[in-house]
Amino acid sequence: MTDKTKKRILQVAEMNFFQHGFYRVSMDRLVRDLHTSKSTIYKYFNSKEELVRAVLININNEINSNLETIISDTELSFTEKLGKVTQFTGNILSRVGQEFLNDLKMYTPDLWDEYQELRQDRLTNLYGKLIENGVSDGILRSDIQPEFMLLVYTKLTEIAVQPEQLSELSISNTEAYTMLSRIFLEGTLTKAGRSD
């Protein structure tokens, strides 16, 4: 058994879980897609829930790494960073899929809570830094506390990851995120930011 085997299990599980939700994906299906045995999977992951958690941690690390790279890039203007962050976040939301988020909340409330904590940490540390950059560059309004802007942004974007709210509308979580980001920016951009 190698790290390569574990990585492959995570990749196949992620693909299946994100596309179909993990509740509907059986271990037998993963075994079939991996061309391996259940014992191989269980050598790395003691349960399906542990595998789901590993997929969750894996995607969280990928998101954080990519956002850190974008936000820390001194060659990019605030507007360019914001565009790249919005595009990347939209791509992630479309990749993860609503079924996975539905299953997290419905079948594994502890993992849902962990996901929400990871998301909040990301918002506080990375998006908070982006908002501060926008204020210092004169693109975001300085008459609104950055911490308050972050709070508003956090609450707005929660809608994009709340399965029960989006299921009543005919929009995807990606479309919701894009519209919510636009709503947020309309109230926070300076005149200079609007013309940028």
Domain holding 115: CATH number?
1.10.357.10
18 belongs to a structural domain: no
Boundaries of domain holding 189? 49-195
How many domains does one find in the chain?
1
The per-residue pLDDT for range 114-141, each reduced to its tens digit, is: 999 998 999 899 999 999 999 998 999 9
Smallest CA-to-CA distance from 173 within 156, 160, 182, 159 is with 160
* Residue-level pLDDT at 113: 95
Relative orientation angle of helices 48-72 and 3-20, to the nearest 10 degrees: 90
Task: Provide the mean pLDDT of the chain.
Answer: 88
* Residue-level pLDDT at 1: 43
* Residue-level pLDDT at 83: 86
29 belongs to a structural domain: no
21 belongs to a structural domain: no
13 belongs to a structural domain: no
187 belongs to a structural domain: yes
- The Cα–Cα gap between 79 and 42 comes to 46
The per-residue pLDDT for range 48-68, each reduced to its tens digit, is: 999 999 999 999 999 999 999
181 belongs to a structural domain: yes
CA distances from 138 to 102, 173, 182, 193 (A): 39, 30, 18, 7
Q: In 10 A of CB 19, how many CB atoms?
A: 14
The per-residue pLDDT for range 132-182, each reduced to its tens digit, is: 999 998 999 999 999 999 998 888 877 777 656 667 777 777 787 788 888
Q: What pTM was estimated for this model as a whole?
A: 0.83
* Residue-level pLDDT at 82: 86
* Residue-level pLDDT at 172: 76
* Residue-level pLDDT at 173: 72
User: What average pLDDT does this structure show over 20-41?
Assistant: 93
70 belongs to a structural domain: yes
- CB 131 within 8 Å of CB 78: no
31 belongs to a structural domain: no
Confidence of residue 84 (pLDDT cuts 50, 70, 90): very high
User: What average pLDDT does this structure show over 172-196?
Assistant: 78
